[in-house]
Amino acid sequence: MTDTAAAWTALEAAAAADGERRIVDLFEAEPDRLKRLTVEAASLSVDLSKQPWSRAGFEAAIALARAGGVEARRDRFFGGDTVNVTETRAALHMALRAPDGAAFEAQGRPVSKSVEGVRAAMKAFVDQVRSGAYKGATGQAFTQVLHIGIGGSDLGPRMVWRALKPLNRRIEVTFVGNVDPSDIAAALAALDPARTLVVVVSKTFTTQETMANAAAAKAWLRGALGEVGDGHLVACSTNLEACAAFGIPAERVFGFEDWVGGRYSTWSSVGLSCAIGLGWEAFEQLHAGAAAMDDHFRRAPLERNAPVLLALAHIYNRNGLGRPVRVVEPYAERLGLLANYLQQLEMESNGKRVTEAGTPVAHATSTAVFGNAGTNDQHAFFQMLHQGTDIIPVDFVAVARSDEGPARQHVILLANAIAQAEALMVGAANAAEPHRHFPGDRPSSFILLDRLTPYALGALIALYEHKVFVEGTLWEIDSFDQWGVELGKTLANKVLAELEGGSAGEHDASTAALIARLKG
């Protein structure tokens, strides 16, 4: 048996033993537990003491991280090696948020200078748009950005915008992702073309939905402003040729490179709309928080390393205790899209069935992730978390201080977050009335931000990005590809041709009947 296989077996054995204990009892047995399992990283506090691991389980998890080569692969990752093997690419989003003067290399090629070049061009553009120096076709300043993109070109910026928009909003940002025409129709109906900058965001600039929405926005601009309306179009992409073919000249294209994965791209020009809406300073602070988390991930010993520990707690539940679902519940309305964002980050990155080498994985991979914002969900699905037949671990995310609205409401919010985590773990026995019995022993992590600043949000996103990397390393999968989305795209094009009058193709009876029924 290899060292890694032995470490997996040891982790499974430790988890099986811990499954027989109650988490709450571990606090008495392990006086150092809270201290040992709480780490501070890049202004965040991460408390993993309500997770099911005993000291022995924790040590088995750390031993797995060591045997699984997390440190060595982390160094290769930061060194710009080909960690995305199926696409023969590096994955180097950390280079995008490093301070000026860094020296990152992707597959041996220096990249930091060109990153700084794009950043400088973005900053100049952002400042001009915000100051009103950069004007629209009718001579009016832009007051609105329409951000068109989907998947990684949508979820990160949309989440960041919702989280930070109360801070420094001068320019409103509207997001359109879905190809459903009702999405763009509703957006356009509320916008004034003379004052709207349209930012088309697509790594490949070939994504069907984004191209359809971009064409609709271009037609809308032309309809209102004539051909000069094209001057309101800006692109963020790796595909300069396709941008030019669409009619966006190079001086209005903000580029990035193929070593930036879509779901890791908010730090690149994909974040342009947020930078325009929030101001450059906020965008820089978002970067600074992520860079601080990068630094922590790179240097902290495994036992005190927040992304490593978050990943190991997840693996302990997923692989040690067979729990395939997890809830991420921010007690912060502004973080209400965090779970949506993490659905792509975690499930597209780690929802894989074969290893990097192409063999079936030896261990179950990504959990399903869901959640919205607390306290709302306490009045919806939390019943199942407390008394359902499955154990569903929770990541609580809370913000210690807020300056918005009635102060007491924020205290109520925090009280609920703390109480839910406590209730899940401690439970409440009631032998006389089984329906009132709370079994407890349901694990959670508790991530605390001091304030919901750009810096803290940057750190939080990078925490999860690196957690995903650690898990992918231990599961031996490529966390940076997404081949699973390809088949559906190919079939959609085939069906589209048929719906638009093409001859009927080969389909199963159900698919054929649907096509026949919906054919115009």
Ligand X SMILES: O=P(O)(O)OC[C@H]1O[C@H](O)[C@H](O)[C@@H](O)[C@@H]1O
Long-range pairs for 279-283: beta carbons < 8 A, 24 or more residues apart:
279/126, 279/130, 279/168, 279/170, 280/123, 280/126, 280/127, 281/168, 282/164, 282/167, 282/168, 282/454, 283/126, 283/454
Asked if residue 263 binds ligand X (CB under 6 A), the reply is yes
DSSP H/E element including 5 = helix 3-18
C-alpha dist (Å) from residue 479 to 353, 381, 442, 468 = 11, 30, 28, 8
List binders of ligand X among 341-380 (CB under 6 A): 348
Asked if residue 289 binds ligand X (CB under 6 A), the reply is no
Q: Are 23 and 50 in contact (CB under 8 A)?
A: yes
Among 43, 49, 210, 479, binds ligand X (CB under 6 A): 210
Q: Which is nearer to ligand X, 151 or 393 (CB)?
A: 151
Instruction: Provide the minimum distance between the beta carbon of 310 and ligand X in the complex, in angstroms, as a whole number.
Output: 22
Q: Closest Cα partner for 465 from 296, 250, 318, 303?
A: 296
Q: For Cα atoms 23, 27, 28, give the angle at the middle one, nearest 5 degrees.
A: 120
Among 202, 350, 367, 420, binds ligand X (CB under 6 A): 202
Binding-residue total with ligand X (CB under 6 A): 14
Q: Which of 40, 113, 404, 489 is catalytic?
A: 489
Q: Which of 20, 251, 379, 500 is catalytic?
A: 379
Contact mark string toward ligand X, 463..502, x via CB under 6 A: -------------------x--x-----------------
Among 207, 213, 285, 319, binds ligand X (CB under 6 A): 207
- Per DSSP, the residues of 277-328 read HH-HHHHHHHHHHHHHHHHHHHHS-GGG-HHHHHHHHHHIIIIIS---EEEE
Give the type of residue at 386. H
List binders of ligand X among 139-168 (CB under 6 A): 150-153
Helices 55-67 and 454-475 cross at an angle (nearest 10°) of 70
Instruction: Provide the minimum distance between the beta carbon of 263 and ligand X in the complex, in angstroms, as a whole number.
Output: 6
Q: Which is nearer to ligand X, 136 or 157 (CB)?
A: 157
Instruction: Provide the minimum distance between the beta carbon of 513 and ligand X in the complex, in angstroms, as a whole number.
Output: 27
Q: Which is nearer to ligand X, 207 or 366 (CB)?
A: 207
The span from the CA of 78 to the CA of 88, in Å, is 16
Q: Which is nearer to ligand X, 207 or 372 (CB)?
A: 207
Among 74, 203, 314, 334, binds ligand X (CB under 6 A): 203
Among 38, 82, 86, 204, binds ligand X (CB under 6 A): 204
Q: Which is nearer to ligand X, 349 or 445 (CB)?
A: 349
Asked if residue 262 binds ligand X (CB under 6 A), the reply is yes
Residue 209 falls in the annotated catalytic set: no
Q: Which is nearer to ligand X, 211 or 413 (CB)?
A: 211
DSSP H/E element including 457 = helix 454-475
The span from the CA of 24 to the CA of 30, in Å, is 11
Burial class (CB in 10 A: 0-12, 13-18, 19+), 187: buried
Q: Which is nearer to ligand X, 52 or 177 (CB)?
A: 177
Q: Which of 257, 348, 356, 465 is catalytic?
A: 348
Residue 87 falls in the annotated catalytic set: no
Q: Are 90 and 37 in contact (CB under 8 A)?
A: no
Pairing of strands 196-201, 144-148: parallel
The span from the CA of 246 to the CA of 237, in Å, is 12
Asked if residue 177 binds ligand X (CB under 6 A), the reply is no
Instruction: Provide the minimum distance between the beta carbon of 179 and ligand X in the complex, in angstroms, as a whole number.
Output: 12
Residue 50 three-state SS: coil
Residue 329 falls in the annotated catalytic set: no
Instruction: Provide the minimum distance between the beta carbon of 482 and ligand X in the complex, in angstroms, as a whole number.
Output: 5
Contact residues for ligand X (CB under 6 A)?
A: 150-153, 202-204, 207, 210, 262-263, 348, 482, 485
Catalytic residue numbers, as ranges? 348, 379, 489
